Structure 1
Amino acid sequence: MKRVENKRPRRRPATGLKRKWVSRSALIGMILCMLGITACLQLKAHTHIALLNAAIETQNKALVDMDKTHRDMIADLDEIKNSDEMMKKAKFQLGMVYPDNDQVKYIDVKVRNEENDVNENVYLNPMISVLHIFK
């Protein structure tokens, strides 16, 4: 008779595929790569938002400056429109005075020929006076 040796029992064949598709280190590497890409995209988005906020602040400062300039111009225009202020400036700065009621006022109504009248032309008058020097 044959002697029976201690044999290990046979393994049963695997019923399903239990192969590892990806190793653990490769899976962790892919996850870290995806996290890195996501972090870069988030950083780019936040940078773009920060640049837009800076541009908005610059525009707001310019708007405030323009508003101040507009208010100053409106105040100057109101000052100019005020007839009392204009009368004071005309009297003291330009020496203009309203005529009294007993003074006679003359209005020149003669028609002038503007084409031939060089002396009345503001732009040509200085040039004509310079040319008279060389005669």
Structure 2
Amino acid sequence: MAANGSTRPTRLRRGFLIFFGIVFAVELATGIGLWRVHELREDGIEPPQWNGMVRALHGALTPVLAAQFGYLCALHIPGGWRMKANRLSGALMVLGFVLLFVTAIGLYYSNAQHLHASIHITTGFLLPFVLGWHIIAGQKWAK
């Protein structure tokens, strides 16, 4: 049986949700911009002037997103796991974030940039859909 939606232990505070949503949206938008720059370079076209700023913003927000992920790992995920709520979508969210963080490190430090870029881009594009699924499933579960 589902817990009351307003009192369940996995319920996230509105302030966190807003902050997370902003960071996630900016990371997604800057990621799309960087993907576009990547495509331009593949076509032999000079990257736009905004490339450096977008890359810096994308990289600067990564530790913020990692801290938010840590918050979720400490306060949200264990309760959801104990309640047996949204395990598949939650596990895919965790996998997605881990893949993004690991491939980001790989993009920065590895010689296998093409492999890391492919995984990073694919995961980055899919994660918003998994997040939407997780949110909708959580709302249905709480009712």
**TM-score, normalised on structure 2?**
0.21
Higher share in helix: 2
Greater RCO, CA 8 A, separation 6+: 2
Q: Which TM-score applies when normalising by structure 1?
A: 0.22
Q: Larger Cα Rg: Structure 1 or Structure 2?
A: 1
